[in-house]
Amino acid sequence: MTDTNRFEELFKKALEASENSYSPYSHFPVGAALLMEDGTVITGCNVENRSYGLTNCAERTAVFTAVARGYKTFRALAIAAPKADYPVGPCGACRQVLTEFAPQDTPVIFGPSYEKSVVKTLGELYPFDSLHELGD
């Protein structure tokens, strides 16, 4: 399978995941799909709360679900925000969380649709990453 096919497939899963979004406050559904090293795809959606600051982004929902299922290294990420007018990249908090589990060359594809999506590496989105030396 080519990278293009793989990205399209991953983006489709992110789009499907956005259908489960709980976003009654922003009305802005987001879905994320993470590709694992063994080919498994784990998805997440944004989950909002009436105490707005407790909202969890789609990306972090996917990351935390993946870790809870035993995965700790990610190969690619797709983010679908179907109501956006332009490609919406992950927020700063999600970029930090992603770098815990994905190397700088990890491709991140994001957009309102696959046709309008862009691909950046995690290193482009989050350069000069903070220290990793505290881990084992």
Pairing of strands 31-36, 41-45: antiparallel
Residue 65, helix vs strand vs coil: helix
Please report whether residue 97 would count as binding ligand THU according to CB under 6 A. no
Question: CA of 68: how far to CAs of 72, 73, 74, 104, 123, in Å?
Answer: 9, 12, 13, 22, 25
Can you tell me which of 4, 19, 73, 91 binds ligand THU, judged by CB under 6 A? 91
Number of residues counted as binding ligand THU (CB under 6 A): 14
How many angstroms separate the CA atoms of 87 and 123, rounded?
A: 17
To the query of whether residue 59 is one of the catalytic residues in this protein, the response is yes
Of residues 41 and 46, the one with the C-beta less far from ligand THU = 46
**How many CB atoms within 10 Å of residue 73?**
12
Print the binding letters for residues 61-90 with ligand THU: x by CB under 6 A, - otherwise. Answer: ------------------x--------x-x
Please report whether residue 20 would count as binding ligand THU according to CB under 6 A. no
Can you tell me which of 58, 63, 80, 109 binds ligand THU, judged by CB under 6 A? 58
Residue 82, helix vs strand vs coil: coil
CB of 18 to ligand THU, least distance (A): 9
Find the catalytic residue in 59, 100, 115, 124.
Answer: 59
Residues annotated as binding site for substrate? Answer: 46-52
